[in-house]
Amino acid sequence: MLTIAGEIAQPSMLTFADLAAIDGAYQVADVSRLAPGRKGDAVRLAGILKLVRPRERAKYLGLHSSTDNFHASIPLAAVADRALVIYRLDGQPLPEKAGGPVRFFIPDFAACHTEEIDECANVKFVDRIEFTAEKGFDNRPHDGTAHEALHAKEVDRARGQG
């Protein structure tokens, strides 16, 4: 279940079926066409924006994962037309090892910790998206050391899943 909240006209809780039911014009079958090397099917963020209708004052998009307490808050205008929400693999909900149930993905991200829209903002295990007027909570790594530590933790986690 994906909770969408904040500065929007239509707060929502979207299930796998709800995401799959979004207008076909916003569906991207096989994201590898837009993001080489990536797997699965997505819906464009634009399709979700059309459903929830952000208010004029919504300037930031908060991507929150309670699974591993990872959070990013990025300027909405910069990603509104290009970001993807990957939610399906082989007809099934995206598995956790692929970042599921929902993974945010910006096809043409900048290198890690260089800009607000960087690779680190491709948040996995997203369970909540919150629109805010000001920049919200963001605990992406700020430097190389913090980044290395985070990736080491991710590898441990993946091993734990066997």
Ligand X SMILES: Nc1nc2c(c(=O)[nH]1)N[C@H]1C(S)=C(S)[C@@H](COP(=O)(O)O)O[C@H]1N2
Segment interacting with Mo ion (CB under 5 A) among 13-21, 62-70, 82-90, 110-118: 110-118
134 touches 60 (CB < 8 A):
yes
Task: Name which of Mo ion, ligand X, none residue 65 binds, using a CB cut-off of 5 to 8 Å depending on partner kind.
Answer: ligand X
Q: How far is the CB of 83 from ligand X (least distance, A)?
A: 13
Alpha-carbon torsion (28, 29, 31, 33), positive or negative? negative
Parallel, antiparallel or unpaired: strands 2-6 and 70-75: unpaired
Query: Applying CB under 6 A, which residues contact ligand X?
Result: 65, 68, 70, 112, 119-120, 122-125, 141, 150, 154
Binding partner of residue 68 among ligand X, Mo ion, none, CB under 5 to 8 Å per kind? ligand X
Q: Which is nearer to Mo ion, 54 or 99 (CB)?
A: 99
The three-state secondary structure class of 115 is coil
Single-letter amino acid, residue 36: P
